[in-house]
Amino acid sequence: MKKRFDFSTLARSKVTWAVVAEALILLVCLFVRPDFFKISYQPTTGMLYGNLIDIVNRSSEITIIAMGMTLVIALGGTDLSVGALVAVSGAIALKFLRWDVTIYNTPGDYTVYPFILVLFVPLIVCTLMGLFNGFLIAKGDIQPIIATLILMVCGRGIAQILTNGKQFTTQYSPFRVIGQGSLFFLPMPIIITAVVIALVVLFVRKTAFGTFVEAVGINRKASRLSGINAQMIIFIVFALTGFLSGISGLIYSSRIMSNDSNNAGLNFEMDAILAVVIGGTSMTGGKFSLLGTVLGSIIIRTIVTLVYYFGIASEATMAFKAVIIAVVIVLQSEPVRNYFAKRGKAKAMLANGGMRG
């Protein structure tokens, strides 16, 4: 289908305004620090360094979770348990990274359990926890925000129990690769995130899954009457979100080479929801944009970077972040978008001699 460039459609899209917001924030960063966009190569680690790389790298955990959160929100729900699942995932991974204390008494490059368990058990457990959410919501007809509140509250408790309330550390090098390694000159989290985004987008958009999610999110009853198995869609979406939280948890704990049941993934659910909203997906469900969400997550991280650059006192950080987010959200609001769309249209009409509806 051919489509002519149309400013007003572009101005009406929330994703457009997310791009504008990101560009503005980066511009401010550049103003504060002229060398902001500089990227350098560090031969000792084989990695590229720079602010832009760092922003994308540090946004990985949220981006991965927000992929799942996008689908959850498209269904008309929210998943509050993702942050707690990050903690669970880290706790399980570190549990399997114990070593034989009768031989070594300091952390080092050793473990008793095979590394495969370190990777897969956390992911399986998080997927099961996602399924538990899905079960409550699909079968029990409990509102998602309530159903996922259960694991949000008790998830961290489970993580504490698993590690006996202790903070373990490790120096096992294969585990370090996940959060601190590199591939193709880029930090490993960026590579993992790129693979996750690609797989989720393929799964959602190359099959009819995305359409079914939208249909169920817009009108669950009509979808069911059209023969869509709405319950199964809900199960898959929540299980997927649990699984992605697990991946995020592995990256997080690999960065600190430790588990931290109290702080790992803290407030991740809020950042993930925010990323989805900035990315242009409505909280009422329905149409969604995965790439918008990626952008949303990067915007959030860029704001944090900006805060550091301004040298703002740490106690004012949150307030500052909130102000910028408020501006971004207002830029994306319906009246503002319509205002620009109309102005664009008027200009186009003048330019074309005034004869286009």
Contact 332, 101 (CB under 8 A): no
Q: Which residues contact 272 (CB under 8 A, 6 or more apart)?
A: 62, 65, 66, 69, 82, 297
Residue 48, judged by CB atoms within 10 A of its CB (0-12, 13-18, 19+), counts as middle
Q: Could you list the beta-strand ranges (E) of the chain.
A: 39-42, 47-50, 182-183, 186-187
> Which part of the chain contacts other proteins (CB under 8 A), choosing from 11-19, 180-188, 210-218, 298-306?
210-218
What is the rounded CA–CA span in Å between residue 66 and residue 301?
A: 13
Among 103, 105, 106, 221, binds other proteins (CB under 8 A): 221
Among 2, 106, 141, 227, binds other proteins (CB under 8 A): 227
Contact 209, 203 (CB under 8 A): yes
Q: Is 333 helix (H, G, I), strand (E, B) or coil?
A: coil
Q: Does 228 bind other proteins (CB under 8 A)?
A: yes
Closest CA to 259 of 163, 129, 130: 163
CB closer to other proteins out of 143 and 229: 229
Query: CB of 202: closest distance to other proteins in angstroms?
Result: 12
Q: Which residues contact 216 (CB under 8 A, 6 or more apart)?
A: 75, 223, 228, 230, 233, 234
CB closer to other proteins out of 112 and 222: 222
Q: Does 22 bind other proteins (CB under 8 A)?
A: no
Query: CB of 128: closest distance to other proteins in angstroms?
Result: 22
Q: Does 279 bind other proteins (CB under 8 A)?
A: no
> Which part of the chain contacts other proteins (CB under 8 A), choosing from 62-70, 93-101, 225-233, 244-252?
225-233
Q: Does 94 bind other proteins (CB under 8 A)?
A: no
Query: CB of 227: closest distance to other proteins in angstroms?
Result: 4
Q: Which residue has the tokens 């966009």?
A: 37
Among 19, 39, 198, 225, binds other proteins (CB under 8 A): 225
> Which part of the chain contacts other proteins (CB under 8 A), choosing from 124-132, 176-184, 200-208, 253-261?
200-208
Query: CB of 1: closest distance to other proteins in angstroms?
Result: 8
Q: Which residues contact 336 (CB under 8 A, 6 or more apart)?
A: 17, 330
Query: CB of 330: closest distance to other proteins in angstroms?
Result: 24
Residues that bind other proteins (CB under 8 A): 206-209, 211-212, 214-215, 218-219, 221-229, 286-287, 357
